[in-house]
Amino acid sequence: MNLSVLGDLNWPAVVVATIAYFALGMVWYAEYAFGRAYQRSSGQDLSPPERPGAVVYAIPLLTCFVITLTTAMVGRASHTDTIMEGLLLGLVVGIGIALPVRFVTGAYDMTKPAPITFAAIGAGYHIVGLTLAGAILGQWT
């Protein structure tokens, strides 16, 4: 694979998949979903948060874009061109890359009160998010 694959990508699909992945995070980490458990496991203060600045959203959006772009490149190189192939691609990238990375960096972070819970919530988000992004990319490729 080389970087010329960037010219072959369906960029609207990459943008939509990025937004879907990011939006899932807004739901995933909301108080009514995994937000309180995530805060507790990370040692964050559970008092009502102050109004967050734009950087709180900009960095996750940028990282979702980079991960989605990388997944799109792998999908293009592997000729992923159906929704089912995209689901499988996202699942493989999520379980094969995001899960181990999240666990190796999160589960051994002894500064967290519940490092396994912290890692599991984060890894779950990336597995589901990448599966969603993969489905979108596979459908639109």
pLDDT per position as a tens digit, 83-132: 999 999 999 999 999 999 999 988 888 889 999 999 999 999 999 999 99
What is the rounded distance in angstroms from the CA atom of residue 117 to the CA atom of residue 112?
A: 9
Percent over 70 (pLDDT), the chain: 96
Q: What is the pLDDT of residues 33-45, one digit of tens each?
A: 999 999 999 988 7
**Full-prediction pTM beyond 0.95?**
no
Cβ atoms of residues 109 and 60 within 8 Å: no
What is the rounded distance in angstroms from the CA atom of residue 115 to the CA atom of residue 30?
A: 19
What is the rounded distance in angstroms from the CA atom of residue 130 to the CA atom of residue 43?
A: 26
Domain limits of the chain?
A: 11-45+52-140
Residues 6+ apart with CB under 8 A from 37: 117, 121
pLDDT given at position 46: 64
